[in-house]
A and B are shown apart, each in its own frame.
Chain A
Amino acid sequence: MDKPIIQINSLNFWYGPKQALFDVTVNIVPHRTTAFIGPSGCGKSTLLRCLNRMNDLIDHTRLEGQLTMDGQDIYAPEVDVIELRKRVGMVFQKSNPFPKSIFDNAAYGLRIQGMSDKTELAGCVENSLRKAALWDEVKDRLSESALMLSGGQQQRLCIARAIAVEPEIVLMDEPCSALDPTATAKIEELIQDLEKYYTIIIVTHNMQQATRCSDYTAFFYLGRLVEFDATTKIFTNPSNKQTEDYITGRFG
Chain B
Amino acid sequence: MLLQRKQRDWQSLFFTGATGLATAVIVAMVVIIVGNIAWNGAAQVSLRFIFGGTEEGMFDAHRAGIFPMIFGTVALVLLMTIGVVPVGVITAIYLTEYAREDRAITRVIRGAINNLAGVPSIVFGLFGLGFFVQFVGGGIDKALYDGALHFGKPTILWAAATMAVLTMPVVIVATEEALKAVPKGLREASLALGATKLKTIWRIVLPQALPGVLTGGILAVSRGAGEVAPIMFTGAAYYLAHLPTNLTDQFMELGYHIFVLSTQSPDIERTKPILFGTVLVLVALTFLLNLLAIVVRAKMRARLRLAHG
Contact = CB atoms under 8 A, between A and B. Distances in A.
A38 to B, nearest CB: 22
A96 B194 contact: no
Contacts, number: 83
A94 B194 CA distance: 19
Nearest to B200: A112
Contacts of B25: none
B183 A162 contact: no
Interface in A15-71: 52, 54, 57, 59
Interface string B177-195: 0000001011011111111
Interface residues on B, range: 20 to 34
B309 A108 contact: no
Contact of B185 (A92, A145, A165): A92
B308 interface: yes
Interface in A143-165: 143-148, 158, 161-162, 165
A96 B203 CA distance: 15
A90 B194 contact: no
Interface string B192-211: 11111001000110001000
A85 B309 CA distance: 25
B193 A104 contact: no
Contact of B186 (A52, A86, A98): A98
B100 A165 contact: no
A147 B305 contact: yes
B108 interface: no
Nearest to A57: B191
Contacts of B306: 144-145, 148
B307 interface: yes
Interface in A79-124: 82-83, 85-86, 89-90, 92, 94, 96-101, 103-104, 108-109, 112-113
A90 B308 contact: no
A104 B192 contact: no
Interface string B276-309: 0000000000000000000000000000111111
A171 to B, nearest CB: 8
B102 interface: yes
A13 to B, nearest CB: 18
Interface in B160-190: 183, 185-186, 188-190
Contacts of A100: 307, 309
Contact of B100 (A59, A108, A145, A146): A59
Given A59-B102, A82-B194, A101 B185 contact: no
B308 A161 contact: no
Contacts of A148: 306
A40 to B, nearest CB: 19
A171 B214 CA distance: 38
Given A99-B304, A101-B307, A104-B309, A165 B186 contact: no
A113 B195 CA distance: 8
B193 A96 contact: no
A249 to B, nearest CB: 31
A108 B307 CA distance: 14
Chain B contact surface mostly: helix
Nearest to A83: B194
A144 B307 CA distance: 7
B203 A112 contact: yes
A113 to B, nearest CB: 7
Q: Which of A59, A82, A92 has the largest number of chain B CB atoms within 10 A?
A: A82
Contacts of B195: 82, 108-109, 112
A233 B27 CA distance: 73
A109 B306 CA distance: 21
Interface string B86-126: 00000000000000101000000000000000000000000
Contacts of A89: 192-193
Given A96-B183, A99-B208, A100-B307, A113 B194 contact: yes
B193 A165 contact: yes
B194 A109 contact: yes
B307 A147 contact: yes
Interface string A123-156: 0000000000000000000011111100000000
A232 B307 CA distance: 45
A96 B188 contact: yes
A98 B199 contact: no
B192 A99 contact: no
Interface of B: 100, 102, 183, 185-186, 188-196, 199, 203-204, 208, 304-309
22 contacts: A54-B188, A59-B102, A82-B194, A85-B191, A85-B193, A89-B192, A89-B193, A97-B189, A99-B186, A99-B305, A100-B309, A101-B308, A101-B309, A104-B309, A112-B193, A143-B308, A144-B308, A145-B308, A147-B305, A147-B307, A161-B189, A165-B193
Interface of A: 52, 54, 57, 59, 82-83, 85-86, 89-90, 92, 94, 96-101, 103-104, 108-109, 112-113, 143-148, 158, 161-162, 165
